[in-house]
Amino acid sequence: MTIHIQTPLIESLSVGKELSAKVWLKMEALQPCGSFKARGVGYACSKYASQGACAFISSSGGNAGLAVAYSGRCLSIPVTVVVPVTTKQKAIDLMEQEGATVVVQGELWIEAHQHAMSLAKQGAVYIHPFDDPYLWEGHASLIDEVKAAGVKPDLIVLSVGGGGLLSGVVMGLQRNDWQEIPILAVETQGADSLAVAVAAKEHIALSAISSIATSLGATKVAGQAFALLQQHPIISQVVSDKQAVDACLNFLDEHRVLVEPACGASLAAIYQHSEILHNKQNILVIICGGVGATVEQLNQWSHSL
């Protein structure tokens, strides 16, 4: 079975208002579990279920764990999600609503990940939030849908956390013979593990995550994402937490859809009219979604930042 749904592709006159380009939004925030993770996680869970998996375990700051919980419910397979203490109560409640068991362990995602791996040794299949070829294959379906809609972008803008979405989008471009299309990979300051690796020309890690965009909070990107820097035209950009939050609020006003700052990073690059956007005809922005924010919290962040 297919866990994810086909999401709308809409042209946004407001987001791209001052750009002489068409700006297309791939509305992954409308997936049943609230983010693009439904694609990769759903595909991976379906694959592992067909291979005999009888339980899933995940580690996540929110969205991946919720996607595993949702996929497990769809497949009637029990799920345990290990989350770090930074995870919002709202995200935990949503996972439990899907029927998952939630375990809080560790200050950072990497600590939750290590605990989840130890639990996985007891027979459950571990669903990695971003570093699994099945995930990338699932995310690649996003590009298949864009092509089927008859839109060929000349730039794709997306947010990067661990690099699972980036890896999947490149896979989708390759299988549709669109490998020349560049990607603007956007992160927030303090969660910019790809940008740090780009600058160092080395697959290094951040010492800590200081951004409020905790969904981007992988201290090190997947090896595949780093390798793709040599194989595909990828431009790294970093925006501030304030720019990401304000982009979320603008987007809410304009499109009546609430997304979290991790997704706001991509929107911020558009609202800030990044130089790479000039001379483009069709810009695709992946509205990756996320459930880790409320309107009240976005407003609080905007004022405090």
What is the model's pTM?
Answer: 0.95
Q: Last residue of some domain: 88, 111, 127?
A: 127
What's the pLDDT tens digit per position in 54-91?
Answer: 999 999 878 999 999 999 999 999 999 999 888 888 88
* Segment holding 296, helix H or strand E: helix 295-304
In a domain, 4, yes or no: no
Domain check: are 182 and 102 in the same one?
A: no
Last residue of a domain, one of 93, 127, 161: 127
pLDDT confidence band for 47 (50 / 70 / 90): very high
Q: Is residue 105 situated within a structural domain?
A: yes
Q: Does residue 122 sit within a domain?
A: yes
Does residue 221 fall inside a structural domain? Answer: yes
Share of the chain above pLDDT 70, in %: 100
In a domain, 201, yes or no: yes
**Residue 108 pLDDT:** 80
Binning pLDDT at 50, 70 and 90, where does residue 1 land?
confident
User: Could you tell me the residue range of the domain that residue 101 belongs to?
Assistant: 37-127
Q: Which residue has the higher pLDDT, 217 or 224?
A: 224
The token duo for 228 is 């793709």
Pair (233, 289) in one structural domain:
yes
Q: How confident is the model at residue 93 (pLDDT cuts 50, 70, 90)?
A: very high
300 shares a domain with 209: yes
Supply the pLDDT for residue 156.
98
Chain segment 134-148, per-residue pLDDT in tens: 999 999 999 999 999
Residue 158 domain-assigned (yes or no): yes
Backbone angles phi, psi at 35, to 5 degrees: -155, 170
Query: Residue 203: left if φ>0, alpha if ψ -120 to 50, beta else—which one?
Result: beta
Q: Give the CATH number of the domain where residue 30 resides.
A: 3.40.50.1100
Q: Alpha helices of 79-213 — where are they, by DSSP H? A: 89-97, 109-120, 133-148, 164-175, 193-200
The verdict on 116 and 184 lying in the same domain is no
Q: 167 and 83: one domain?
A: no
At residue 217 the predicted structure's pLDDT band, cuts being 50, 70 and 90, is confident
Does residue 155 sit in helix, strand or coil? strand
Question: 110 pLDDT band (50/70/90 cuts)?
Answer: confident
Choose the weakest-confidence range: 11-20, 76-85, 91-100: 11-20
Tell me the pLDDT band of 233, cut-offs 50, 70 and 90. very high
* pLDDT interval class at 107 (50, 70, 90): confident
CA–CA separation, 106 vs 196, rounded Å? Answer: 24
Mean pLDDT of 29-45: 97
